[in-house]
Amino acid sequence: MGTSAEKHARQKQGRTTRVTEARKQVRSADRRRRLVTVVGVVLAVALLLGVAALLVQPSGSGSADGSTTTTAVETTTTVPDAPAAALPAPPEGLTLDQPTPCPPAEGSARRVQKFAGPPPTCIDTAGAYQAVVTTNKGTFTVALDPEAAPVAANNFVVLSRYRFFDGVPFHRIVPGFVIQGGDGDGEPWGNNDLGYSFGDELPAGPEAYTDYSVAMANAGPATNGSQFFVVLPGGGQQLDPANYTRFGEVISGRDVVDAIGALGNANQEPTEPVVIESVRIEEVPVG
């Protein structure tokens, strides 16, 4: 059975072994906790980067290249990774070197591409106007809103009657957000020189950007010109009312707008050319 001293030695050795084993377990637990913490930090960073990747570079307050656009945020719409289509250049047009006169109501004989300054008021701001937009993908009609945005509505009418939009493609298509066109001189898209710009007529709140609203694209405050966008279903909640002048709404041909809105890739480029063939302005009786 051994001596008392041997018994105490065995007990001491047992205690030492248990303490050593406990310390090993503590160190192992610490390592596991540190590993979990590191993994958690890595996952958090990856999540943040993933969210950031869903954000489009803001340009509503001026993009790096000065292009005219709208700021898109996260969307749940699945966007195909498809190649961009080659877009046709708009047809050559006249350059006006004198103050812009009001165009004929039936439209000018030749397309005007650049103006010497902003147009005068050529519409009855108490009247009602519709723009029939014919594209190679179909036709849709916009009811203009001169009461909420008289300057923007007048500008759209004048440009349409000068055939400015004839042959101009929708150069930016963001599924689930907007379709954008109105760049009248071609590449680089989003940087056309209209010859003038005008101020903002901003809505009171984001609820103004209903589905199929039509609004001015811009490169910052008071930089409106010719480029405009149509809000796709659900896209309005992504827009800041402090940035964009709403001047109309698509009232018919919404299926055409939907079809166009599906033709964008992950880089917001059209996967098929969508070209405005004409914009015809109709004055609607009031009352």
Is the domain of 113 the same as that of 232?
A: yes
Q: For residue 82, with 0-12 CB atoms within 10 Å meaning exposed, 13-18 middle and 19 or more buried, which class applies?
A: middle
Is the domain of 150 the same as that of 227?
A: yes
Domain range for 269 is 94-284
Distance (Å, whole) CA 70 – CA 238: 10
- The reply to whether 272 falls in a domain is yes
- The reply to whether 128 falls in a domain is yes
53, 71, 86: which is the final residue of a domain?
53
pLDDT averages per 10-residue partition of the chain, 287 residues: 46 48 49 46 39 30 55 61 94 96 95 97 97 98 98 98 98 98 96 96 95 97 98 96 97 98 97 98 91
Distance (Å, whole) CA 280 – CA 94: 19
Is the domain of 264 the same as that of 134?
A: yes
pTM above 0.75, yes or no: yes
Give the pLDDT score at 286. 86
Is the domain of 165 the same as that of 40?
A: no
Is the domain of 182 the same as that of 41?
A: no
Residue found under tokens 């190679």: 136
- The reply to whether 80 falls in a domain is no
Is the domain of 271 the same as that of 217?
A: yes
Is the domain of 224 the same as that of 136?
A: yes
Residue 219 CA to its chain's centroid (Å) = 12
Instruction: Determine if residue 203 is left, alpha or beta; phi over 0 gives left, psi from -120 to 50 gives alpha, anything else beta.
Output: beta
- The reply to whether 203 falls in a domain is yes
Give the total number of structural domains in the chain. Answer: 2
The SS3 of residue 213 is: strand
- Give one DSSP letter per residue of 197-210, joined into a string: -B-----SSGGG--
Is the domain of 49 the same as that of 103?
A: no
Is the domain of 16 the same as that of 141?
A: no
Is the domain of 6 the same as that of 114?
A: no
Q: Helix, strand, coil % (nearest 5) of the chain?
A: 25, 20, 50
- The reply to whether 267 falls in a domain is yes
- The DSSP code for 90 is P
